[in-house]
Amino acid sequence: MEFETKILSRNIQEALYTLNATLGTAESCTGGRIAEAIISVAGASNYFKGGVISYTNEVKENLLHVSHEVLEKETAVSENVAKQMVVGACEALNCTYAISATGIAGPTGGTAETPVGTIWIGYGTKDDVRAFKLTEDYGRDINLAIATNKSLQLFLEYLKEKLPAEEE
């Protein structure tokens, strides 16, 4: 998976260069792994603005402006929170695009409604945010690796939609 992650990061780099765009991350359960994958490619400083590790609701609210009401009503592990984290990262980091992740990596912390392995990934711009839900539990390390890899795959697919036809 590490090799695939590196290829995805390189392809994201090429797309962001073509689009003359910037990227940031807002990570909860992945704890910076997405940012780490992005910066593993030389030259990332030309487009990667930074990341916010928002492990607590307090940080999600104060730095990323995630709604307190949404956190209370839906919990941090929800589609709305993942999307609000993208918007918050775009604003806080002044970047074109952002990727977010919020979930329960395990081995504990799950509930009947939100079991371990539930991870929401958000990606896009502050005006066009998409989300994807992971639901399988393969153990903490694998859950985090899958979330990181899937976030890069989804974001790259999203960027390809933005590229001029001849650049794809």
Contacts of 91 (CB under 8 A, 6+ apart): 65, 126
CA distance 111 to 97: 32
**Helix, strand or coil for residue 31?**
coil
For residue 97, CA distances in Å to 48, 130, 148 come to: 10, 11, 16
Is pLDDT at 166 greater than 70 in this prediction?
no
Strand 23-27 to 97-103 pairing: parallel
Query: What residue type is assigned to position 116 of the chain?
Result: V
pLDDT band at 5 (very low <50, low <70, confident <90, very high): confident
pLDDT for 152: 98
Q: What is the pLDDT of residues 109-136, one digit of tens each?
A: 999 999 999 999 999 999 999 999 999 9
| CA-atom Rg of the chain in angstroms | 15
pTM, full prediction = 0.96
Q: What is the pLDDT of residues 27-65, one digit of tens each?
A: 999 999 999 999 999 999 999 999 999 999 999 999 999
Contacts of 165 (CB under 8 A, 6+ apart): none
pLDDT for 70: 98
Q: How far apart are the first and last CA of the chain?
A: 23
pLDDT for 69: 98
DSSP 8-state class, residue 141:
H
